[in-house]
Structure 1
Amino acid sequence: MVKVVADTNIYISALFWRGNPYKVIHLCFEGKAKLVISRQIIDELERILLTDGKFELPREDVALYSEIILSHAELVCPAFTLNVIIKDPADDRILECAVEGEVDYLVSGNKHLLDVKEFQGIKIVTARQILEILGV
Structure 2
Amino acid sequence: MAEEPEPHPALIKSGKVRELLFKTAEKKAQLAQSRGILEEFLEVVDDPRIGKYIIEDDVIAFPRTTGTLATIARTRSRFKVVEEDPSADIVLRAAHDGRAEYIVSGDRHLLTLREFRKIKMVTVSQMLDILERAEGEHRRQIDGT
SS at match of 1:15: coil
**1:1-136 equivalence runs, <5 A:** 15-56=11-52, 57-135=54-132
Structure 2 residue ranges without an equivalent (≥5) = 1-9, 134-145
Q: Per residue, is there more strand in 1 or in 2? A: 1
Q: Per residue, is there more helix in 1 or in 2? A: 2
Whether the 8 Å CA contact 2:32–2:70 is kept in 1: the answer is: yes
| Higher RCO (C-alpha under 8 Å, 6+ residues apart) | 1
**Percent identity for Structure 1 against Structure 2:** 31
Larger Rg: 2
Structure 1 residue ranges without an equivalent (≥5) = 1-13
TM-score, normalised by the number of residues in structure 1: 0.82
TM-score, normalised by the number of residues in structure 2: 0.78
Equivalenced residue count is: 123
